[in-house]
């Protein structure tokens, strides 16, 4: 089991949470109700952040489908720096929502399979 802390009131913590949400999602199927709460809150924060279409699409490609920013840029027909800017802006908007909700740091536990752990 891995225990990871996420500072939800800053951009780096949000990006880390977005990056790890597939792992956290797998924990919910093992009966981890904290993982469920974390994912519900993340989805609510994303919905409450009023992301632009480009920001939402960039986040979906980079963190949902796990494409690199360059691959996402190609899929979207825009430049990689534009994807980076969109992801950064989206993460800031999501962090603002968590700050408004007065979230600080959370800790989540999840297991990695042997290949990911190596």
- From first to last of its 118 residues, what are the pLDDT tens digits of the chain? 678 899 999 999 999 999 999 888 888 887 888 889 999 999 999 999 999 999 999 999 999 999 999 999 999 999 999 999 999 999 999 999 999 999 999 988 877 665 554 4
CA distance 13 to 16: 5
Domain range for 47 is 2-117
Model pLDDT, residue 107: 87
Tell me the whole-structure pTM to 2 decimals.
0.89
Model pLDDT, residue 112: 66
CATH code assigned at 40: 1.10.10.10
How many domains are contained in the chain? 1
CA distance 14 to 33: 20
């Amino acid at each position: 089991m891995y225990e990871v802390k996420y500072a939800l009131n800053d951009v780096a913590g949000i990006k880390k949470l977005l990056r790890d949400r597939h792992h956290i999602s797998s924990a919910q199927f093992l009966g981890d109700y904290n993982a469920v709460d974390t994912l519900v809150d993340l989805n609510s924060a994303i919905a409450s952040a009023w992301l632009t279409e480009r920001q939402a699409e960039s986040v979906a490609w980079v963190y949902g489908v796990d494409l690199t920013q360059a691959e996402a840029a190609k899929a979207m027909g825009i430049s990689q720096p534009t994807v980076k800017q969109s992801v950064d802006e989206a993460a800031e908007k999501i962090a603002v929502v968590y700050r408004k909700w007065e979230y600080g740091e959370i800790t989540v536990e999840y297991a990695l399979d042997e290949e990911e752990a190596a």
